[in-house]
Amino acid sequence: MNCLSFSELCCLFCCPPCPGRIAAKLAFLPPEPTYSLLPDPEAPPSTRPRGAGGPGEGRWKLQLSERAEFQYSQRELDTTDVFLTRSSRGNQVCCMYIRCAPNARYTVLFSHGNAVDLGQMSSFYLGLGSRINCNIFSYDYSGYGASSGKPSEKNLYADIDTAWHALRTRYGISPESVILYGQSIGTVPTVDLASRYECAAVILHSALTSGMRVAFPETSKTYCFDAFPNIEKVSRIPSPVLIIHGTEDEVIDFSHGLALYERCPSAVEPLWVEGAGHNDIELYSQYLERLRRFIGQELGQHT
């Protein structure tokens, strides 16, 4: 997340409409798209989509660029469904469903970090899903990848609502079979949705308490114009919550993870990864160990 200029600091405290724009500069770093969607040539004509500007309910094929750095074969890529659906705010939201595990009990609805898109995340999703025995459903925020519109806090909430309803209606997956997983900025829509809908579980990976607390670490209260107020919503999550944070996180300080854990009544034993930063928690062995124990053992005790 970027530092604020003096003019932006003045704007923050003098002009309440401006914090939203500052939050966008702090949080949203959409990369150049690393994938494109092509109409599936093998699909029946009646199911072929009419283009990215059309309804998007037809069948698409995912074409990855070299920058996606895909680590698997075409066979794994062919297990991936991609489609476009429209949010309540009028944006086309690109969604991806990966069948990683044939007999998976859970599907992870994954909200990714701020500087990646679905193309860059596809290899990670395949590896993660196969290792924790879950299918993975993900989506790109407005302004990311093949999703239209511009990134904003309001669009984040509309985007995950669209993904949640698409997962349920298109694939018939019930809430008790969905694990909401948010990473970094992805914890913002995840916490918001989890505070409104019950699901199997919630995982918050390198989560922030609020935008103001990231920009100004001495902030101790939530102002009415604060962006991304996870700290005010996390106490309303009824589902079990696993919080994961690196003790040396250089982007979102470890104190954010601790504060969210203390505020969340449904939190389970957290994972504090000693020495880990913001973008390398997945490289530590205890990451997968904790996820497997949470999903494979502890969730059964909550049902």
Domain map (residue ranges) of the chain: 6-302
Active site (annotated) includes residue 161: no
pLDDT of residue 13: 47
pLDDT of residue 14: 45
- φ, ψ of residue 226 to 5 degrees: the values are -65, 145
Q: What is the rounded average pLDDT for all residues in the chain? A: 87
pLDDT of residue 65: 96
Q: Strand, coil or helix: what is 233?
A: helix
Query: Where does the pLDDT of residue 57 fall: very low under 50, low under 70, confident under 90, or very high at 90 and above?
Result: low
Q: How far apart are CA 206 and CA 186, in angstroms?
A: 9
Q: How far apart are CA 42 and CA 157, in angstroms?
A: 34
249 contacts 261 by C-beta, under 8 angstroms? no
Structure tokens at 149: 């519109």
Q: Are strands 241-246 and 271-273 parallel, antiparallel or unpaired?
A: parallel
Q: Strand, coil or helix: what is 213?
A: helix
Query: Where does the pLDDT of residue 285 fall: very low under 50, low under 70, confident under 90, or very high at 90 and above?
Result: very high
pTM value? Answer: 0.87
CA dihedral 155, 157, 162, 164 (to 10 degrees): 160
Count of Cβ atoms closer than 10 Å to residue 170 Cβ: 15
CA distances from 24 to 147, 156, 209, 301 (A): 17, 11, 16, 40
Question: Which stretches of 172-293 are DSSP H helices?
Answer: 187-194, 211-215, 230-233, 254-263, 285-293
Q: Strand, coil or helix: what is 201?
A: strand
Which residues, listed in sequence order, are joined to residue 95 by a DSSP beta bridge? 83, 139
Does domain 6-302 fall into CATH 3.50.50.60?
no
Options 161, 192, 249, 253, the catalytic residue: 249
Which amino acid, 265? P
Q: How far apart are CA 257 and CA 184, in angstroms?
A: 11
Q: Strand, coil or helix: what is 157?
A: helix
What whole-number percentage of the chain has pLDDT above 70? 82
**Gyration radius from the chain CA atoms:** 19
Least confident segment among 86-95, 169-178, 207-216 = 207-216
Active site (annotated) includes residue 249: yes
Least confident segment among 14-23, 136-145, 203-212, 284-293 = 14-23
235 contacts 209 by C-beta, under 8 angstroms? no
Question: Which stretches of the chain are DSSP H helices?
Answer: 6-14, 19-27, 74-77, 118-132, 153-171, 187-194, 211-215, 230-233, 254-263, 285-293, 299-302
CA distances from 22 to 28, 74, 97, 159 (A): 10, 41, 32, 20
Active site (annotated) includes residue 278: yes
pLDDT of residue 189: 97
Which residues, listed in sequence order, are joined to residue 187 by a DSSP beta bridge? none
Least confident segment among 6-10, 26-30, 95-99, 264-268 = 6-10
Q: How far apart are CA 228 and CA 167, in angstroms?
A: 24
Query: Where does the pLDDT of residue 264 fall: very low under 50, low under 70, confident under 90, or very high at 90 and above?
Result: very high
Options 184, 206, 210, 239, the catalytic residue: 184
